[in-house]
Amino acid sequence: METKTKFPSAASIKTIGEKSPPDKKLKSDFTWTDSKSDLIEILQSVLLLRSINRGKVKKNEFIIFMGDALNVNLRNHTGLFNDILNRYDDPNKPHSRIYYLRQMVDALSMRLKELDENTTQRK
Q: What is the pLDDT of residues 92-112, one digit of tens each?
A: 776 678 989 999 999 999 999
The alpha-helical segments, DSSP class H, found in the chain are: 36-48, 59-69, 77-85, 99-122
Domain boundaries, the chain: 31-122
Q: What one-character DSSP code corresponds to residue 57?
A: S
| Nearest-angstrom CA–CA distance, 92 and 73 | 30
pTM strictly above 0.75: no
Q: What is the pLDDT of residues 2-51, one digit of tens each?
A: 455 555 555 555 555 555 454 566 778 999 999 999 999 999 999 999 99
